[in-house]
Chain A
């Protein structure tokens, strides 16, 4: 199994630009999670999906953030417009129905907004 795949691994952009992060969960997993990790705030859950449907987006910081899961094998997290305070490592994780709490994390995308 290839594990959770995220792209890009690193992204450097300028304030005001749109940023799109991508995630491919482990095949067969029904849950997909987006996290953000910073030194100040630690690891925070932004949103999670079950069977492609957003279940809890209460962690999405503001309207500039949006996430979609058009099918079982692909999800995006978009930031528009980006701000320097969005700089962080963004992780995608997935889990299966039999063990929904056993989350497998992707390698993360390190985002730097200048």
Chain B
């Protein structure tokens, strides 16, 4: 089992819809979770971090964490074509190492 797994995608949603990106992790002792956005040919950019169970909202983005299920998700409301990118889930494990998932490619169709 890979340490961090994500929907392989690509995920296509119409403009204005909600995009839902999912991530699971294997290390039950993980405490810190991150979502990065990476545009094609560019470097990853941190958009959300979450440390406690529940929801964390920042503008159109909501991160959700469920440590019991070892699951973290990112919701993008009112999706825009500019949200089209690859979204990387990253988990800081109990042995203090940040592991990135393979990423999910999102395409928002105008």
User: Residues of A with Cβ closer than 8 Å to B?
Assistant: 42-45, 56, 91, 101-108
Contact = CB atoms under 8 A, between A and B. Distances in A.
B98 interface: yes
Contacts of B42: 107
Interface stretch (B43-51, B53-61, B62-70): B43-51
Interface of B: 32, 34, 42-46, 49, 88, 92, 96-103
- Classify the interface of chain A: helix, strand, loop or mixed: strand
Nearest to A107: B43
Nearest to A4: B43
Given A101-B34, A101-B49, A106 B100 contact: no
Nearest to B42: A107
B103 to A, nearest CB: 7
Given A101-B98, A102-B46, A105-B44, 13 more contacts: A42-B103, A43-B44, A43-B103, A44-B100, A45-B97, A56-B97, A91-B44, A102-B49, A103-B46, A103-B98, A105-B43, A106-B43, A107-B43
A105 B46 CA distance: 9
Nearest to B99: A45
Contacts of B49: 101-102
A105 B42 CA distance: 10
Contacts of B97: 45, 56
Nearest to A110: B41
A95 B19 CA distance: 29
Given A42-B102, A45-B97, A45-B98, A101 B92 contact: yes
